[in-house]
Amino acid sequence: MEEAEEEKKDEADYKRLHSFPLIRHSDMPEEMRIETMELCVTACEKHATNNESAAKMIKETMDKRFGSSWHVVIGEGFGFEITHEVKNLLYMFFGGSLAVCVWKCS
């Protein structure tokens, strides 16, 4: 019984430790990067069980704020190779293993 409680405590500590966004790469200007990061966190928290809805929310908001042609990928365990406009890329992790990649390509 104590082991199960200790495992739950360890899991809760792990989730708390990884609940902040970790930016892996970004070439966006500082203000745009912060706004995009906050948008990604909000969308992932609001749509915690539906990555498709979170991606749609991010894309639609980015299109309105920074012009059209934004693309968003959210998920775990995937690889990708993209072409993007300079100063329009954000790649981050949130909640431990959830990756979010936002980029603009016209």
Long-range contacts of 57-61 (CB under 8 A, 24+ apart): 58/100, 58/102
Query: How confident is the model at residue 1, as a pLDDT?
Result: 53
- Please give the pLDDT value at position 13: 57
Domain holding 88, by residue range, is 2-104
pLDDT number for residue 88: 96
Helix, strand, coil share of the chain (percent; to 5): 45, 25, 30
φ, ψ (nearest 5 deg) of residue 79: -120, 160
According to the model, what pLDDT value does residue 7 have?
66
CATH assignment of the domain containing 41: 3.30.740.10
pLDDT at 20: 75
What's the pLDDT at 97?
84
Alpha helices for the chain (secondary structure H): 2-17, 30-46, 51-66
Angstrom distance (rounded) from CA 28 to CA 86: 8
**In degrees, to the nearest 5, what angle opens at C-alpha 42 toward C-alphas 40 and 47?**
95
Report pLDDT for 79: 87
pLDDT value at residue 95: 82
Please count the other Cβ atoms lying within 10 Å of the Cβ belonging to residue 7. Answer: 10
Can you list the residues of the chain whose pLDDT is less than 70?
Answer: 1-19
* Total domain count, the chain: 1
Q: What pLDDT shows up at residue 9? A: 59
- What residues have CB less than 8 Å from 89, skipping those under 6 apart? 25, 26, 27, 28, 101, 102, 103, 104
